[in-house]
Amino acid sequence: MNIESSFDRLRRVSTAFQESCLLAAAAELDVFTIILEHDNRLSALELSTICETDLRGTTVLLDTLTATEYLYKKSVPPNSNSASNPDSESVYSVAEEFRILLDRRNSETFVPMIRHMSCVQRSWTELARTIKNGTPAKTPPSILGENEDRISFIWAMNSIAQKLVEPTVTSLQKAGLLTFNQFIDIGGASGTYTLAFLDVLPESRGTIFDLPVGIAAARQRFAGTKYENRVQLVEGNFDHDELPTGFDFAWISAIIHQFGQNESRLLYEKVFRSLCSGGKAAIRDFIMNTERTAPKEGAFFGVSMLVETKNGRVYTLDEVKTDLESVGFTDVQLAVPAETMSAIVTAKKP
């Protein structure tokens, strides 16, 4: 067995940012999509002209993306325009295995997640300052601007949810939780889970409650589909606004980690009021062990909440149970154990 030395591990980890920064720059500049839009064949000069970027920087980016095998580079016969720039004799193409994921136009694109993680990375670089001062450091938006960064976040969550939704729904079915008729998807964004619930439960009706940017994404998703008349889209901010009422199921997916315990309890109070008697709330998130050291992915996510939010954190089961019971919920259970953010805690309104 090849055992990595302590030195090699430290060297590997300390330089791991380089490739993620490379991908982030390409995603923010939309390099991959632009190449694919031009028959998957562009020179550095052509790309820099389209993107209005520096030619030297564009060439370095493309060559390094080729070295890391996201692109491939092919020489073409020289022409009269190439004498002053040897790189104009080469064209770049997106590697076959990445064409779907790196094409922003594709429904399975991973580009929004790369853009979002670039924003997260900027916050992580200020981790020591955050720990020193006790508050997240202010970091600049991407070159796309704050609004596009919010849109990237919405579609990044969609790209992850698309991979998680099927096993999550299966786990809910096995736990006997898919028995509701009227449900609310709190912070449901583009409606990945709402769509899955409507599909599995053909008599059900759903409500997505989210900020305007999330509702805009949901409207785009459901418009003209057979589900359009079964979903209500409600703009609001659950930090400040009351939730709609009359539901027998509330889906709280990847929400509570944004909050401290007082904020979580305020949300649970609103969820409690939104449910009918006998209704259930289901919380999907990381559920940590009592020492808060496992799962490892959850511990790392706790760092993201430290550098990005005022009070956000990851929770243990006992903490979630205490908070839910404090606002009136009963029968709190870890209905679906998981080492990922797909652990699900349920609670009942008496």
pLDDT in tens, 141-188: 999 999 999 999 988 988 888 888 999 999 999 999 999 999 999 999
pLDDT (0 to 100) of residue 261: 95
pLDDT (0 to 100) of residue 107: 86
pLDDT (0 to 100) of residue 82: 46
Q: Residue 26: pLDDT above 80?
A: yes
pLDDT (0 to 100) of residue 129: 96
- Mean pLDDT confidence for 199-204: 96
- Mean pLDDT confidence for 77-100: 74
Q: Residue 236: pLDDT above 60?
A: yes
Burial class (CB in 10 A: 0-12, 13-18, 19+), 282: buried
Q: How confident is the model at residue 83 (pLDDT cuts 50, 70, 90)?
A: very low
pLDDT (0 to 100) of residue 1: 55
Residue ranges, comma separated, of all CATH 1.10.10.10 domains in the chain are 6-110
pLDDT (0 to 100) of residue 88: 54
DSSP per-residue letters across 64-77: HHHHTTSEEEEE--
Q: What is the mean pLDDT of the chain?
A: 94
pLDDT in tens, 251-290: 999 999 999 999 999 999 999 999 999 999 999 999 999 9
Burial class (CB in 10 A: 0-12, 13-18, 19+), 247: buried
Q: How confident is the model at residue 89 (pLDDT cuts 50, 70, 90)?
A: confident
pLDDT (0 to 100) of residue 80: 47
Question: In the CATH hierarchy, which top-level class contains the domain 6-110?
Answer: mainly alpha
**How far is 184 from 231, CA to CA, in rounded Å?**
10
pLDDT in tens, 314-326: 999 999 999 999 9
Residue ranges, comma separated, of all CATH 3.40.50.150 domains in the chain are 165-348
- CATH assignment of 165-348? 3.40.50.150
